[in-house]
Structure 1
Amino acid sequence: MKITGIYFIYGLCVMFYFMMAWFFWRKGNDRLSRFVMLLMIVIGVECVKDLFLINDSLYSGRLMWSIMTAIDMVVVPLYAFVLIELCRPGWLTRRMMILHEAPFFVLPVLLIITGSEIFYGIEVGWAAIYGFGYAIWTLVVIPRYHKHLKEAFSYDENINLKWLRVILLSFFVILGLWIIDCLVINLNIESVYMLGSLIIWMFVCYFIYKHESVIDELREIPVVRSDETEEADNITGLNSKVNKLFFEDKVFLNPLLKLSDVADMAGTNRTYISQFFNRDNGASFYDYVNKLRVEYACELLKSSSETIETIALQSGFNSIATFHRVFSKFCGCTPAKYRACNVAR
């Protein structure tokens, strides 16, 4: 590929990454948006730097290539910070972030001072291990994250991470290309790596931009211990309040109902409510609420001539796709089939 081609690709990247930085700056002050904004700025600055430095003579100089690539690797932990904030919101501390970044500052400095390629090799190896490690960690943590969501939310649109699994598969391919790009000076490999990264980040930014912050809902609240008699009274009183909320007030018809909402209405905290659903009712908050929504929808399907889409909204579901999925899970058939069978009778 001619040098003008790589300039064009880098120009696209500069425009995209700085545009995304602006979007996430406008999105809000939550940590995830700030991490993505910072990541986009750093990648954008690196692309601008490359636009001025990339030329034919640079690619013929191995040491200069190594130094430039080693400096670029300061961005690697920022990728991990975004993954961590998605899967374990609020878990990262300032000290942890400094420790993560330290090797990616120290090794380039040693490379520049000594001119020894061994430091570059160490950094590339560590970045590869670090990247693969956090990608695998993310795949392991996602199911746990979804389990916590079901304990606190009655919906999962714009908060689940199902999309991230597909992105991570692409990430492994891009990481492999990046490793080759670090070791082999080749414009074609560089171009494929940059274009692949750009395409993946288009999808990632789209999903992250839609992603709602869940940190307040997933933060644990300490429980004040009580004796057995007091605890029994609390459970009895809580059971009465929850039954009234769900069976009389029908709070489950709120499509954005959260555990904290029920806790506030019942005059208690999220921990007690969570224990009530998981221990005393044997179901997560998500399953408990959606089972009631499905039962309500079944009655409407039998008695109403409204469309299935309308019934889904009336029953507390905020998307038709979720309605079909949850309905099939509890009833073993689609809403349309359920209506047809019951109308026939």
Structure 2
Amino acid sequence: MRVKREVPQEHAHENVLTIIDQLLGLNNPDGIQAAVFGLLGAAAAIQGAGDIEDADCLQQATADIAFTNAKEAGDVDGQVAALLYRALERNTGSVGLESVLCESLVAVNPEIAAITQHQDPAADGAAALNKAIALELVKQIVAVGGDPALANEASTFAPGEIGDPTGAGNTCDDATDLAGCINTLGLRVDDLSAEEIAAAAEEVAAPAASATAVLDCAAIPAATTAAAVAKATAAPAAAVAGEFGDCADPTIVFGIPSDGRQEDAFEANDLTDFPHGSALNIKVISSFICDQLVNKCKADADAVDICDAAAAAVDGLKGQDAADVFNALLGF
């Protein structure tokens, strides 16, 4: 039986696409025809990809160019729009089908590299994944000086019904609605509450508590159990490493990162299991790693507790010492 294609929704966030097209007009070295092509399935996307050879990387490449142009112009709103665009859901072949992530290109801007696109809300695990994407989006928006509440502008629709013969889901598609039909029609389902946005923004804005790597148990939130802290500080590498589920290496490295940033920063040592752009604040990376242990690696509860305790313990620490403490608490 042939599976009907999901109906178009690429113009649902026309408010974002309009800004990206304006930014592409400033400098478009790859000849990308329009922002909307980056939100299409690969077969259609390649028709407007210009010199970008991998259609699954067109959305990232478009966002990267737009972000660069906005940054050079000192346009914070444009940088935020580029971040939002990178996080938008792409069209796929049917309700519940995930879109392919970009693997062949590395974004020039680490802010863009830190984000991936929303997935179809009917896909397995999409709610947790899309929330994680939105939380990272908050942090990147704050980092460029934007309003973190705008992160919900990249939110997608309510889940459609798997097997729906119409392929319609709960979508809209209107290139003439410059406010975005997902907004005008009230179809957007926000990923984050106001409290979640504030908490994520605070992680980026919080000043460093110490420049010296000292394990301060008083800095660990009360919600982190004493048992978890004890396990984190005492567990030998062999005992812990086997408990991280499908992921073998949740450690963090510090130095010139692989994403093009020209200053020392933190990033995951294993970027295959923990694909995230570098960050100047270790908490951005440690929080992502702990989230991935739950959402991707399927690690056991003890390992997740250990990671959470380690992340809390190094919050505010800087440099190589911070990475060393985090890794040691995980048993590496």
Q: Which has the higher helix share?
A: 1
Same fold (TM over 0.5): no
